[in-house]
Amino acid sequence: MSDTIHVSPTAAALQLERGEASLADLKKNLEYAASVLESVYIEETRRLVDTEDELSDIQSESVPSEVRDWLASTFTRQMGLMLRRNEEKPRFRSIVHAVQAGIFVERMYRRTSNMVGLSYPASVISVLKNVDKWSFDVFALNEASGDHALKFIFYELLTRYDLISRFKIPISAVVSFVEALEVGYSKHKNPYHNLIHAADVTQTVHYLLLKTGMV
């Protein structure tokens, strides 16, 4: 058991005023107070370093830069060493997970809302599962879609690249545009330069972009 004598601040003040304070006891209490403050400082510093490490682990593409800046200013040294009880301070990692979950839900909602303008038959969905492969069968897509291979491949890739949401393109405008393209490609009944060929070229460009790491 430690032989350190812990004197309350009021009692210590009275002893000092009366000249009754023991220098040995006073020294022990000062050393004890210093050790407590040092322990608190080390623990708080460790917690803040852990928080900064967690911040550095976050992938930039999963959390926007402005959100990362807010997290940094709120949970790291930029706010200073603020001592709080653990149960009152929200865990940094839980905040990050909440932000990432919110972003994920938003993206899923935007993708789902984009699909409202174009209904995908089950057979088309099945064929489009292979859209990332070199062996993608554009003729199967054209058959499954009722001679609308270009419309579905065009719309699918615009959605995958998030171009419709990013540029706030009305769904009706996208559908009208690609349908006009199909009409143009079919106008002269060209056996080669037709909408199937256009869909094939579109999917090939997508494959090359994907496999070369350009997107």
Residue 51 pLDDT > 70, yes or no? Answer: no
Closest CA to 154 of 211, 194, 107, 201: 201
Query: For residue range 60-119, what is the model confidence (pLDDT) as tens digits?
Result: 555 666 666 666 666 555 445 454 544 445 555 666 666 666 666 556 555 554 445 688
User: Looking at the structure, do residues 106 and 122 belong to the same domain, yes or no?
Assistant: no
User: Looking at the structure, do residues 20 and 79 belong to the same domain, yes or no?
Assistant: yes
Average pLDDT of the chain, as a whole number:
76
Residue 66 lies in a domain: yes
For residue 97, the model assigns a pLDDT of: 63
Distance CA(14)–CA(23), nearest Å, equals 14
Q: Which of these three, 49, 78, 111, is where a domain ends?
A: 111
User: Looking at the structure, do residues 13 and 107 belong to the same domain, yes or no?
Assistant: yes
User: Looking at the structure, do residues 52 and 122 belong to the same domain, yes or no?
Assistant: no
Residue 3 lies in a domain: no
- Do residues 160 and 111 touch, judged by C-beta distance below 8 A? no
User: Looking at the structure, do residues 97 and 155 belong to the same domain, yes or no?
Assistant: no
Catalytic residues: 193
Q: Which of these three, 82, 111, 140, is where a domain ends?
A: 111
- Contacts of residues 160-165 at CB distance under 8 Å and 24 or more positions apart, as own/partner, are 161/215, 162/107, 162/110, 162/111, 164/114, 165/110, 165/111, 165/114
For residue 1, the model assigns a pLDDT of: 46
Q: Provide the domain limits for residue 81.
A: 9-111
Handedness of CA 84, 87, 89, 93 (dihedral sign): positive
For range 45-66, the mean pLDDT: 58
Q: At what angle do helices 195-211 and 149-160 cross, to 10 degrees?
A: 30
Which uninterrupted H or E stretch holds 155?
Answer: helix 149-160
Count of domains forming the chain: 2
Query: For residue range 131-143, what is the model confidence (pLDDT) as tens digits?
Result: 999 999 999 999 9
Q: Which of these three, 111, 138, 165, is where a domain ends?
A: 111
Closest CA to 147 of 190, 201, 183, 188: 183
User: Looking at the structure, do residues 97 and 142 belong to the same domain, yes or no?
Assistant: no
pTM above 0.75, yes or no: no
User: Looking at the structure, do residues 144 and 56 belong to the same domain, yes or no?
Assistant: no
What is the pLDDT confidence band of residue 144, given thresholds at 50, 70 and 90? very high
Query: For residue range 166-211, what is the model confidence (pLDDT) as tens digits?
Result: 999 999 899 999 999 999 999 999 999 999 999 999 999 999 999 9
Residue 156 lies in a domain: yes
